[in-house]
Chains A and B, each alone.
Chain A
């Protein structure tokens, strides 16, 4: 006895069940931290993304025309004040350079471990994620430019996120506003640790901060360097709200990111220069393990 007599209906039911099964397996297997694209996806994303780039470029050119030529009445007055500000900042930079040299000398004296060197790659934002559930931006640099998965991304103002998905010419950044992105943060003033998670399109929250930590509004949050993705000392944002329940041992801290994501146009990708060497070392170690296993098997 057949459950569904009509052939077409039976075929439809079988296909529905099959597609649902494949989709459920896909949901279970999907990684939250990174997405490695297949060669086919790579080709298609690289084909569609230039269209996004051209649309963004048209908009940028139009905006640039209005900003630079049409709305340009007070430019000369502003130039004078900017020149003054540049002179002040140049003085401050000279002081900071002196402090950096002093810091290096003291580190050398204490025989501190050397930090990882990063290659900086400048990229342009070409699009945002198609779903508002994810705070992801697409940039116009990829594998061909030396970008690697999970490289940190910053601007002059602070942390943007890390590389989540990568193709030959484009990359998707999981920003600090996305709740799948978790950053080990540090309150700069009191050195209190916590985990910064995306919360909504404007704010992040810092979890697991001890209740005893005397955090105040306006405290600056920086990356702690733990977690192997972000280097230490990148500005994440400022404390904009503190929630202390009458019970529990932690407090929830709301953070306003240092980066204005609504006006983000260019970003800098930090690619660790030692990555290739580290990769080769791991491969050599894996090869040694495999060889020793083979030898052990042949002896048996």
Chain B
């Protein structure tokens, strides 16, 4: 049990390092180049990868740690992303026999689908807090281009993360979850 936990420390550490580098790139460089309206949510990409590929009882804790690191770069906090990430993990565990990340196109499509689910969960939480439907609509129009960029980046990032986490690239989602 203890050894089980320790084997995840190294890949988790490297993933956190990747997240920090990407967040710095996204928050410091892109806005300075005039891209202030949109931000690339790399945390979503990494959390989705954990949900898709990591077969561990601790996945929800990994998501929490990733989101907590993300919260150093945003006032959004770690909570909403954690809720969305864990819920997506639960959904994946039910759809495991239907989904396979067998090619880049399939990876892009599946990532896009689950980003819609992510948006839906976060939008509900925002609506409860803000009580403004107009805000959700505005958020949706920002979400569309941001999520497309994330989906297009997914095959590349997933292959890098496969090497870090030593998972098989062509496998049914959530096997043995």
Contacts and interface: CB of A to CB of B under 8 A. Distances in A.
Interface string B73-94: 1111111101100110110000
B82 A48 contact: no
Given A45-B72, A133-B76, A55 B28 contact: yes
B82 A19 contact: yes
Interface in B91-122: none
B28 A129 contact: no
A11 B31 contact: no
A23 B25 CA distance: 27
A15 B79 contact: no
B25 to A, nearest CB: 7
Nearest to B19: A130
A184 interface: no
B152 interface: no
Interface stretch (B6-14, B53-61, B156-164): B53-61
B79 A55 contact: no
Q: How large is the interface on A (under 10, 10 to 19, 20 to 34, 35 or more residues)?
A: 35 or more
B83 A44 contact: no
A27 B142 contact: no
B24 A55 contact: yes
Given A20-B86, A30-B79, A126 B36 contact: no
Contacts of A104: none
A136 B86 contact: no
Interface residues on B, range: 35 or more
A130 B60 contact: no
Contacts of A23: 64, 78-80, 82-83, 86
Contact of A128 (B39, B89, B142): B39
B30 to A, nearest CB: 8
Contact of A55 (B29, B77, B132, B135): B29
A291 B135 CA distance: 49
A9 B93 CA distance: 11
B47 interface: no
Contacts of A172: 75
Name the prevailing secondary structure of the B interface residues: helix
Contacts of B72: 41, 44-45, 48
30 contacts: A12-B60, A15-B58, A15-B61, A16-B86, A16-B90, A19-B61, A20-B60, A23-B83, A23-B86, A24-B79, A26-B77, A27-B80, A51-B28, A56-B28, A127-B28, A127-B31, A128-B31, A128-B36, A128-B39, A129-B39, A129-B75, A129-B76, A130-B27, A130-B41, A132-B39, A134-B74, A136-B75, A164-B75, A179-B132, A261-B36
Interface of B: 20, 23-29, 31-34, 36-39, 41, 43, 56-61, 63-64, 70-80, 82-83, 86-87, 89-90, 125-126, 129-130, 132, 135, 138-139, 142, 146, 177
Given A12-B57, A15-B57, A48-B73, 5 more contacts: A16-B60, A24-B83, A51-B28, A55-B25, A130-B27
Interface of A: 8-9, 11-12, 15-16, 18-20, 22-24, 26-27, 30, 32, 35, 41, 44-45, 48, 51-53, 55-56, 59-60, 126-134, 136, 138, 164-165, 172, 174, 179, 199-202, 261-262
